[in-house]
Structure 1
Amino acid sequence: MARRALTTTAAVFATTAALLLTACGGGGDDTSSDDIKGAGGGSKSPSASASDPAAADRPDVSVPKDLTLVFDFDKPSDTKHAAALADAENYVKAMYHGIAAQDPNDPGYQFYSGGQAKQYVRSQIQTWVKGGWTPIGTDQYYDAETTTLTGGKRVLVTFCENQGKAYSKEIKTGKTLRAEENLDSYLKHRLLMVPSSSSPQVWRVQVIEVTGKAKECRA
């Protein structure tokens, strides 16, 4: 497995998002009884960072030195959109942190996600653990867009990914598994971001859709 290529379907996103957007009640809390809060600071990023007031309570989402995550995002002028985009980025970092740690129950991704989005990352980590792989190389994210949904309580974040220079390495042998860049290298992400009622400055991913062979992401 030279790339992280697990995808979700548009039907899954549309169905789950529709339920969320039409649900009664307010608050926008995406937490569940098994959400885990970590401690420590997050990794640095070239895009919008998490809100300072919550920094001390945020989990470690750093990644190994042989893995570089590039987020070429323009910071939205809207404060809410900027926070949602920053935590969408933290969600991606947390996934890689869990994969590198080989821990399907890593607290990082659980802090930044709920519902289907949490299950998605858990399945990703489990796949890498089962295969005996760890991520290396450079993974690029770009062309981010943010849209307000449901009366301003939720934000839809979309962005592209190029995995052309992202590889996996066999943990036991140290062998790097490579693949030439092609259309399979390009993915489109859609994330439904929901603010936490207990920590309003924190945004969590409730639903994620990842589609492969995204021609619109190929320059």
Structure 2
Amino acid sequence: MARRTLPIAAALTATATLLLTACGGGDDSPDDIKGAGKESSSPSASASATTSGDSPDLSLPKDFKLVFDFDKPSDTKHAAALADAQNYTRAMYHGIVAQDPDDPAYHYYSDAQAAEYAKSQIQASVKGGYTITGTDKYYDSETTTLSGGKRVLVTFCENQAKAYSKEIKTGKVLRGEENLDSYLKHRLLMVPSSDSPQIWKVQVIEVVGKAKECQA
């Protein structure tokens, strides 16, 4: 299931400024952000969706699976940010399955540009008349504290070679061969929710297609 690559050049200012560049747009790295502390995660176990309290429904059909092969970071703030980055991804797919561009799930886990991105992906599926099936795999996660300590940058890879579009009217599955287009790199800027600080929201997302570093 090919997803639209999103070029971004978004500057967020406070105690730190983060520039998310589009593919081919530069070599900015979280390592270059003054005061950043990094924690890496290697593939191991899948995480489960949040279901407690007022959290939205993130259920998905049995014929579609999201696999997150992430280790849980030892830093509690990083762990929470990574968990809700996963929930944002689930929420976007929940909206696609529900065929609802205003689905409350992605609003719960995102604001600003990231919410608009999720909405655009759902709208594209509604317009195209398709839903999803198969398995979408995420791996090689990394979490970085930005200067000031109030933001966390989450990055990870995606292999969508076994995730397919499915026509809603006919049930036809649109399969394709695995190639470089199957690999994507995600960068998500996470901030605590002003209403519920225990919830981390995505403010900015960058999705870069043909990510060779994710193909290894």
TM-score by length of 1: 0.82
Alpha-carbon contact 1:109-1:121 (below 8 Å) kept: yes
What residue identity is the alignment partner of 2:46? Answer: P
Q: Which residue of 1 aligns with 2:46?
A: 46
Q: Which residue of 2 aligns with 1:125?
A: 122
1:148 aligns with 2:132: no
Alpha-carbon contact 2:15-2:147 (below 8 Å) kept: no
* Residue in structure 1 matching 2:10, options 9, 15, 28: 15
TM-score by length of 2: 0.83
Q: Shift of residue 151 of structure 1?
A: 1.2
Q: Shift of residue 140 of structure 1?
A: 0.1
Over 3 Å counting, the alpha-carbon distance change for 1:48 and 1:170 in structure 2 is: closer
- Superposed counterparts of 1:64-75, under 5 Å: 64-75=61-72
Alpha-carbon separation, structure 2, partners of 1:209 and 1:19: 20
Q: Secondary structure at the match of 2:144?
A: strand
Question: How many positions carry a matched residue from both structures?
Answer: 190
Alpha-carbon separation, structure 1, partners of 2:119 and 2:175: 24
1:136 aligns with 2:133: yes
1:92 aligns with 2:103: no
1:194 aligns with 2:181: no
Q: Shift of residue 180 of structure 1?
A: 0.2
Mark the runs of 5 or more structure 2 residues left unpaired by the alignment. Answer: 19-44
Q: Shift of residue 17 of structure 1?
A: 3.8
Alpha-carbon contact 1:46-1:72 (below 8 Å) kept: yes
Over 3 Å counting, the alpha-carbon distance change for 1:181 and 1:19 in structure 2 is: farther
The structure with the largest helix share of the pair is 1
Q: Which residue of 2 aligns with 1:40?
A: none
Alpha-carbon contact 1:17-1:207 (below 8 Å) kept: no
- Ranges of 4+ aligned residues in structure 1 off by more than 6 Å: none
| Superimposed CA distance per residue, residues 63-106 of structure 1 (whole angstroms, 9 cap, x where no aligned partner) | 11110000000000000000000000000000000000000000
Instruction: Please give the root-mean-square deviation of Cα atoms over the aligned residues, in Å.
Output: 1.9
Alpha-carbon separation, structure 1, partners of 2:209 and 2:120: 17
Alpha-carbon separation, structure 1, partners of 2:49 and 2:77: 12
What residue identity is the alignment partner of 2:3? Answer: A
1:175 aligns with 2:187: no
Q: Shift of residue 56 of structure 1?
A: 1.1
Name the stretch that deviates more: 143-152 or 208-217: 143-152
Identity %: 69
Q: Secondary structure at the match of 1:199?
A: coil
Alpha-carbon separation, structure 1, partners of 2:68 and 2:47: 6
Q: Shift of residue 48 of structure 1?
A: 6.8
Alpha-carbon contact 1:48-1:75 (below 8 Å) kept: no
Q: Secondary structure at the match of 2:100?
A: coil
Over 3 Å counting, the alpha-carbon distance change for 1:140 and 1:153 in structure 2 is: same
Alpha-carbon contact 2:65-2:136 (below 8 Å) kept: yes
Over 3 Å counting, the alpha-carbon distance change for 1:67 and 1:104 in structure 2 is: same
* Residue in structure 2 matching 1:163, options 160, 164, 169: 160
Mark the runs of 5 or more structure 1 residues left unpaired by the alignment. Answer: 24-44
